Structure 1
C-alpha cells in the first residue's frame, strides 16, 4: 500500500485496531508532505463508555523526557547551564549513596543515561502534598549506583527527576510552569496538560489492562499516575496526538515555531539529535543509540535515521517518531499496556510512511550445554524490577518481576544468540524481549543483564 493510500485509510485502520480487540482506544497523528492527518477510535474509559476523538488526551509517559531536555538546552542557549559541569554546580544538595558519583555526575550524563544511578525509584506519594519534585531530590540520598559513572548506558527515570529539579532551581519556577511557559505556549500546544488537576478540562483517556473476564475484554487500571516526583521523567504530561506532532515539528524544522520564531538554537538541536552513546540491540535491521532526550534508530542508510521516544504509564502507551530526511513525524497513543501491539503499529507506520522495513531476518540460535548455561544463572536486579535466570529441563528461562507497576511475574523461555544476546519468548512463542549479559568475570559469570534499556546488576547469592 502506498503512503497516500495508507493515510487515506487512516481512520479505517484505527477502527480495525479497536474492532480486533487490540486496544480500547487509539489516537494517531501524522505529519507528511506538509499535511497533518488525524484519526481516533474506540473507548477512552470502559466504565463510562466515553468515545475517543482526535481531541482526546492521553498520557505520554517518557516522551516527557525530550521536553525536559529541550528546556535544559534552552537554558544552555541562555548561558545558564553548562551540561558538562557536575550536577552539583546547580544542585548543591544532589546526593546518592555513592559519594564520589554524587560529586562527578555531569548534567550531560544525567540526560544521556550514562550516570549509573538506579533508575526506577518510584515512592508512593498518592496522599502527599507539596513539591514532590523537590522532595524526590531529598529521598534519593541512599539510591545505589548500578554501574560506574559514564561506563554504560542504563535508562534512568531517577536521573530525569533530578533534571526536573535542576530546571526549577535554575529558572525559579516550578517544572510544571516551565513546561507550559517554555514548551506548550510558544509552540501552540493547545490541548497539552502538565499538571493532573487540569486534565478534567478535556476528554481524557484512562489506562487499561487486558482482562478477559470483563465484558469489554479490558479492565481499568487502579492507579492513575506514577510518582509525582517523577513528573519530569514522565508521570503527568497528557495531550493529543496532534500536540505531539506540534512538538515534533519544532525539532524537525530546525527549532523554529509554526509562527516563525526561534525556539531552540541549531547547536542545541544538533546535540540532542546526535548520538551520544551506543545502545545494545540484537537487531540486524538497525542499530540503536541515544542522543540527549532522543532515542536513535539507524537503518541501512544514514539518511534513514529515525529519532523518537516511547512512553509507558499505568495502562497507557505512547510513541513519537521523526524521520528528518523525509520530513515525516508521527504519534501514536493507546490506553492499554500491550507493548507488542504498540511495536506492531509503529513498524507498520514506518513501513507505510517511510518505506523503512524493521522486520528481522530468521534468528540463528546457539545451543548451550548445561555447563555453559551456568554462566548466566542468577538474579539480576535494580531498584524497581529484576530478572531471575534459571535452568528448567536443560533450558534457560527468565522470570521477570516489575515491583513498580506490580504486574504478575512473567516467564520467558530464552533462546541464545551470538555475543551473549538472547531472545525472550512468551508462552505463545512470540519474541517479547531482548537480553544481553555484560561484563564477563574470571569465573565466567556475568556482572550485568541489559534488557529494555535498563542494566540490572547480578545479586551475589
Structure 2
C-alpha cells in the first residue's frame, strides 16, 4: 500500500452490498482520485479455502492483460525495432492464414485495434513450453477470417496472441520475459505474474462457476494456456493495477523516474483509430484501449474475464481518475464490476453511465431477425418467445469436447430489445450481460447477414 492509499467507509459499504447482491465470494476495488488511492476488499479468495481478499490478492485479469502487451510492443516501436504500419510478416515471416492476401498485408497496427479481419481465437493448447506461442501461430491457417484487413473492427484474442509472437521474434526472448523486463519491473509492478508457479506462492483468488443447482463451485482451471498470455494471461492485484493506472495517466516515466514509454506513444494509445457501432466495448478502439464518451468525459479502459474471474479497469485521463474492480464468480462478475465502476464514476466525479432504453416489442421484426448465427467457437440462435426477443449463445459441442475444463459454462438465453433508430441496434435487457449492446448487419441488398455481440461478428448460417 502506497503512503497515500487509504480506505473509504462509503466505498467499502457499497462494495460489500454489491458483493452480497451478486453473490460474489470476493471482490477487490481500487480508485485513484484527487491524487489519493483508495481501496476496498471484501470476501474470500475461495469458498473451499477461504482466505480474506486484500488489495494484494492476485486475480487473473484476462483480457486486461492486453494493455501490458501493447505497452511492451510500443517500447519496441519507440526503439525503432517495430513499425506499426509494417506488415506482420515483417516480424513473423512464418505467418500463414487461410487467405494468402490477408497473411501478406495485415499490419501490426491492425492487430492492435482489432481491424486485421481475424476471428476471435483458436481453442487449442500448445503447451507450456517456450515454443507455445510459436506453435500457436503455426495453427493460425485454421482460424476463420471475418473480412479483409482494415475492413471493420472485430475483437480478436488471436490477434493479440500473434502480437506476442512479434515481440518474441523481434527480441529473441520469451514474451513473458520481455514484458517483465521492459514493463513490469520499470513501472514497479512487483505483484504481477504470468506463470501459475509464481502465483501459487502468493495470496490468490480462485474463480467460481455457478452450477446447475445454483451453487458456486471453484473452477479447476485458473487461466488459459501459455499461448494465450499476450491476450489474457496476466495475474495481478488491485495494488499493482492502481500503479498501472498511475503510469498510464502520467508521462511515461516509471517507478524510479526513468522513461518507460515516451509520452507521445503513451498518449497515442488513447487516440481513436476506428469507430465502433453500438458496442458496449467502446465507442472506438485506440491502440488496445477501449474508448468511450460518457456523460461528457472520455474514458479509456479494458475489461477481462476467464474461468470465473473478472476484471474491469477504467481511466478518466482528464480527471486523473482510475478505477479497477476484480471479482471471482461467474456469471455475475460482469454486472457486479460494472455496478461498482458506475457508482465510483457518479460518487467521485458526478459522471452518470446508464444503459439505453429499447423500444416496445414489434412482432413484425421477428421473422427477419430469427435464425442461427455462427462464430468460430459458438453458435447463437435468435428467437422470440411471446413478446420477448432472445439471443441464445452456446459453445459448439466439438469445441467443448476438445477444450474440456478450459471451456466456461454457457449462459442462459439473453433477453434483448431493439433500440431507437434504424432498427438494427439492440441492447440486452436482463441477466449477467444486461446492458451489452450490438447490432444486426446487412448486405448490399438489405438482407441481415450477421449479428455483432461483445465486439465479435456472428455470421448468419440459417
Normalised to the residue count of structure 2, the TM-score between the two structures is 0.90
Query: Which range is displaced more, 374-383 or 48-57?
Result: 374-383
Q: Are the aligned partners of 1:61 and 1:311 in contact in 2 as well (CA < 8 Å)?
A: yes
Preserved CA contact (<8 Å) 1:423 1:435? yes
Whole-Å Cα distance in 1 between the matches of residues 302 and 411 of structure 2? Answer: 26
Q: Is residue 292 from structure 1 mapped to residue 287 from structure 2 by the alignment?
A: yes
Matched ranges for 1:41-120 at <5 A: 41-120=42-121
Report the Cα offset of residue 213 of structure 1.
4.7
d(CA) in 1 for partners of 2:21, 2:389 = 34
Cα shift at 1:88 = 0.3
* 1:330 aligned onto 2:323: yes
Asked whether the equivalents of residues 212 and 218 of structure 1 are also in contact (C-alpha less than 8 Å), the reply is: no
Residue 103 of structure 1 aligns to a residue in which SS?
helix
Distance in 1 separating the partners of 2:22 and 2:290:
30
Q: Deviations over 1:30-87 (max 9, x none)?
A: 1111112122111101111222122111011111111111111111100001000100
Name the counterpart of 1:220.
218
Name the CA distance, whole Å, in 2 between partners of 1:315 and 1:238: 13
Q: Which residue of 2 aligns with 1:453?
A: 455
SS at match of 2:122: coil
1:130: Cα distance to partner? Answer: 4.7
Q: Quick one: structure 1 residues 223 and 16, their matched pair in 2 at CA, closer, same or farther if it must change by over 3 Å?
A: same
1:113–1:159: 8 Å Cα contact kept in structure 2?
yes
**1:427 to partner: Cα distance:** 6.8
Establish whether residue 352 from structure 1 lines up as the match of residue 347 from structure 2: yes
d(CA) in 2 for partners of 1:278, 1:186? 33
The DSSP-based 3-state class of the residue aligned with 1:307 is strand
User: Which aligned pairs between 1:20-31 and structure 2 lie closer than 5 A?
Assistant: 20=21, 22-31=23-32
Partner of 2:186: 186
Using the TM superposition, name which of 10-19 and 412-421 deviates more: 10-19
Deviation for aligned residue 1:381: 1.4
Deviation at 1:28, TM superposition (A): 1.1
- Aligned to 2:369, the other structure's residue is in SS state coil
Indicate which of 280, 298, 304 corresponds to 1:311: 304
* Equivalent position of 1:259 in the other structure: 256
Matched, 1:422 2:423: no
Superposition deviation, residue 13 in structure 1: 2.9
Q: Any stretches of 5+ residues in structure 2 without a counterpart?
A: 1-5, 401-406
Please give the TM-score of this superposition, normalised by the length of structure 1. Answer: 0.90
- Map Cα deviations across residues 348-372 of structure 1 (whole Å, 9 max, x no partner): 1111122110123543346241xx4
Partner of 1:240: 237
